[in-house]
Amino acid sequence: MDSWKAFDQNPVTHSVAHHLVAIAELLDEYGYARVSDVARRLEITRGSASITLKSLKHRGLVTEDDRRFLGLSAEGEAIARSIRARKAAIGMLFVQVLGVEPRQADEDTCKIEHLISVHTAERATRFLRFLTSRTPEVQAFQAAWSRFDEPDGHDPAQCPCHDICRAAGEAAAPRRVGAASGRSRKSHEPR
């Protein structure tokens, strides 16, 4: 299982994604972007924004003119557009299909928008297009999903998706330090 190694192979980090998207949004909203605007948008210091933007300029993703206005190169713009599209698709999937509260959906999409592949985002978009088609089949599917989504005292041990249900239940349960081994936290500290 080498898929975990692909995480580090992603050319766009969480920080880079936010900086590129911030510039794109500022350009869309105001027609310009400066380092101080990016810092304010991301709620970070001007110095932190400046350090990241210097790296992005060096990589050829961000441009800066003589008046210190920022822009995006064609590659930077393509990356920002792709990230924004993925965030919109995944956010819509979380809110409209899965029923996740918008604030939580925004937080969760922020964590994965730059990590999921374009292919996965395209599949999510196609699925959303299907769900909004309002065909009789879709309406039947949505009705069945609504009924299934009701809490029903579901027993993971009796479910074909036993491992998934059990893992979801374990993730939601609070963990105690040393509970798995019966050892206290002290036994894990260096001597």
Q: Which conformational region is residue 178 in: left (phi greater than 0), alpha (psi within -120 to 50 degrees), or beta?
A: left
Spatial CB neighbours of 155, under 8 Å, sequence gap ≥ 6: none
| Residue recorded with tokens 């088609």 | 133
Would you state the pLDDT for residue 187?
39
Would you state the pLDDT for residue 191?
39
- Reduce the secondary structure of 121-181 to three states and give it as a string: HHHHHHHHHHHCCCCHHHHHHHHHHHHHCCCCCCCHHHCCCHHHHHHHHHHHCCCCCCCCC
Q: Identify which of 94, 114, 96 has the alpha carbon closest to the alpha carbon of residue 104.
A: 94
| Residue recorded with tokens 């105001």 | 30
Would you state the pLDDT for residue 45?
97
Whether this model's pTM surpasses 0.85: no
Would you state the pLDDT for residue 13?
86
Would you state the pLDDT for residue 115?
82
Would you state the pLDDT for residue 143?
87
CA 59 from chain center: how many Å?
23
Query: pLDDT digit of tens for each residue in the chain (191 aa)?
Result: 566 555 555 668 889 999 999 999 999 999 999 999 999 999 999 999 999 999 999 999 999 999 999 999 999 999 999 999 989 989 999 998 888 999 999 999 998 888 888 888 889 889 989 988 889 999 998 888 888 776 666 666 666 666 666 556 555 555 444 444 444 434 334 43
| Bridge pairing between strands 62-64 and 70-72 | antiparallel
Domains of the chain: 11-79 (1.10.10.10), 83-132 (1.10.60)
Would you state the pLDDT for residue 27?
98
Would you state the pLDDT for residue 172?
55
CA angle 101, 135, 133 (to 5 degrees): 55
Residue 64 amino acid letter:
E
